[in-house]
Amino acid sequence: MKALVFALGIGVAMGQGPNVSTVFQFHHIEGAQALKEVATMVRTVAEVPQVSVDDVAKTVSLTGSEGSLQIAGWMLAELDRAPVTASVTPQFSVTNNDVVRLFYLANQPTVQTFQELATAVRTVVAIRRVFTLNRGRVLVLRGTPDEIAAAAWMIQQLDQPAAAQHTDADYTMVDPNNRGETQVRILYAPYAETVQQFQEAATAIRTVAEIRRVFTYANLRAIPVRGTAEQIALAAWLVKELGKPGDEAAYSYPDDSRDHATAVRVFYVKNAPTQQAFQQVATQIRTQTQIRRLFTYSGTNVLAARGTPAQVAAAEQMLKDRELAAK
């Protein structure tokens, strides 16, 4: 593709000035839907206010600031290539703290898996401007250098064949907002036989470890999470313990001085022949002990609970009493 009107410059700052117009001719992007997706991407990522497409002529007309059109020109030049294998483009530097990058993904068998991966990246890294092009499985990102680097790492970890061997992996981001949520980890729950069980494992992590940024990528049974070092350590422990039928384990969480919920336990609920019975036990324990962070994993009849030492001890005693009554 080449610009009919407009000379492309790389690595320029966003200029504030009068709007200019340009028309781009496509050579490898065809079809009304594909052109529409590209136009929407340009409008969203490059922040070009006026975009129109001519399906017959295979052109896109743009009107915006010179800086916006330079971003758009770079993206369109990268996209209008012959089909490519998995690759990552060089990043386009808008400013020192604002960059754009394109990723061509190779191991996304369906649009659903591709969209799920994109949402995982958006959620965990917290990138506002994420756009997907289903044709070619292209992921377009714009954010800070730290966000783009973290996203690139996540994509490398998740864009893998489902049959490949996967192990937990870690990444550290910077902390511009001083929230402490610098640790990113990809956790795996291969023992989850169904999508429902997999989602339950992720919800247990979100609930018990109180992690805001948790998402799932079902194609690999992967759970990308981001939080403080303490939260991620608890999440990693928990995701392993959920897959151990019959085993019970304890974990000590640092005291955050809010409600002193330092005791974490994984209980195996016996004599619960149905899911209804299992959920009834969980409800009884939650109600009587007042444990807020309690969740169930149906795959192994496990209760994951976090509360004060006294609350967790009360839950343990309730389960022991229940077992004695069943004999």
- Spell out the domain ranges in the chain: 1-82, 246-327
pLDDT value of position 308: 95
Q: Please state, in angstroms and rounded to a whole number, the distance separating the CA atoms of residues 114 and 138.
A: 9
Rg (CA), the chain: 25
pLDDT value of position 82: 65
pLDDT value of position 256: 75
Which helix (H) or strand (E) covers residue 102, if one does? strand 98-104
Domain 1-82 in CATH 3.30.1370.120: yes
The amino acid present at 5, given as its one-letter code, is: V
Concatenate the DSSP letters of all residues of 230-261 into one string: HHHHHHHHHHHHTT-TT--EEEEPPP-SSS--
| pLDDT, one tens digit for every residue, the chain (327 residues) | 333 333 333 333 344 567 899 999 998 888 888 899 999 999 999 999 999 999 899 999 999 999 999 999 999 998 887 666 656 678 899 988 999 999 999 999 999 999 999 999 999 999 989 999 988 899 999 999 999 999 999 999 999 998 888 899 999 998 767 678 999 999 999 999 999 999 999 999 999 999 999 999 999 999 999 999 999 999 999 999 998 888 889 999 998 767 899 999 999 998 888 999 999 999 999 999 999 999 999 888 999 999 999 999 999 999 999 988 877
Q: Please state, in angstroms and rounded to a whole number, the distance separating the CA atoms of residues 118 and 212.
A: 18
Which helix (H) or strand (E) covers residue 112, if one does? helix 111-121
Domain 246-327 in CATH 1.20.1330: no
Strands 263-268 and 249-252: antiparallel
pTM of the model: 0.86
